[in-house]
Structure 1
Amino acid sequence: MPEQHHLSLTPSQEAERYLENARQILTEKAGKKDGLYADVKYVKMAAGTAYSAALLILDEYLRQKEGIHFTKPKSIEDYMMRLRKYDKKLLRILANVYDELQLAGYYHGTRSVDTMQNGLNNVRQMLSYI
């Protein structure tokens, strides 16, 4: 798809696109065997892509809540502090997504299929907030 096409996507559609890209990377490139991924490089790539979807969702959620006062958070702590004011359940989902995708998936390159699937499912849950 040409880049201009993506400018017309809503934040929800854009996050959905990132999530789909992450699933594709895991399915087509990471190679699954015995509940583990074979190629950590692709796990890290997919985790980063899915985590980016989560941040897109959170930015839109906070934009809706804060209106003209919205500024993009600068850190995970900033996201968590601001979410704490609005929705504790979303805050818990974010904590899981951060652990599963950002720390285990992206930083440590987990080979665990379960960890990655939980992370993707949690991001999918976040979509319902925007």
Structure 2
Amino acid sequence: MAQKKKNGYLEAKRYVENAREILSTKAGKDGEFYSDPKYVKMACKTAYSGVLVALDEVLHGKEKGKRADVIKYRTALGEKNKTMLSYFNSAYNLLHLVGGYDGELKVSVSQEGLSIAEKLIEWVGSTMGTAAQA
């Protein structure tokens, strides 16, 4: 049986939804901070993966099961859309580094990262013409 190719835009949206779910149910929000860095890291890594899945659709960043280096994403985005390059750099910093590695507990940091991820993913959807179909 042939496997149906997944739509990267819809898959990326699902990643961000999953990240929001992790933060809301497991990270233990207490005022302006989360209480569990393990789940903040998990959520941020999930959202950042969603960004990469989406960008792979329009930048063809993934080859033969290997993910492209962040520099290749930056170069390709810089050639295609400078504003989205700025969003990508922010997503990389907030979601991958500060959230994914450091586990920053400040709620606003994670929320801003998720918001940026959604902007990138929506741009991919509009570039592909799938945002209106979703």
Q: TM-score, normalising length from structure 2? A: 0.82
Tell me which residue corresponds to 1:129: 123
State the 1:92 CA deviation. Answer: 0.3
Give the TM-score normalised by structure 1.
0.85
Q: Residue in 2 aligned with 1:31?
A: 28
Aligned CA RMSD, in angstroms, stands at 2.0
Runs of 4 or more above 2 Å deviation: 6-9, 70-74
Query: Following the alignment from structure 1 to structure 2, what is the Cα–Cα distance between the partners of residues 23 and 73?
Result: 24
Query: For structure 2, which runs of at least 5 residues remain unmatched after alignment?
Result: 125-134
Question: Which of 96, 99, 107 pairs up with 1:105?
Answer: 99
Q: Give the Cα separation in 1 of the matches to 2:104 and 2:119.
A: 22
1:18 matched to 2:15: yes
- Matched residue count: 120
Q: Which residue of the partner structure matches residue 56 of structure 2? A: 59
Report the counterpart of residue 3 of structure 1 in structure 2.
none
Q: Percent identity?
A: 38
Q: Which amino acid aligns with 1:75?
A: D
Which protein is richer in helix relative to its size? 1
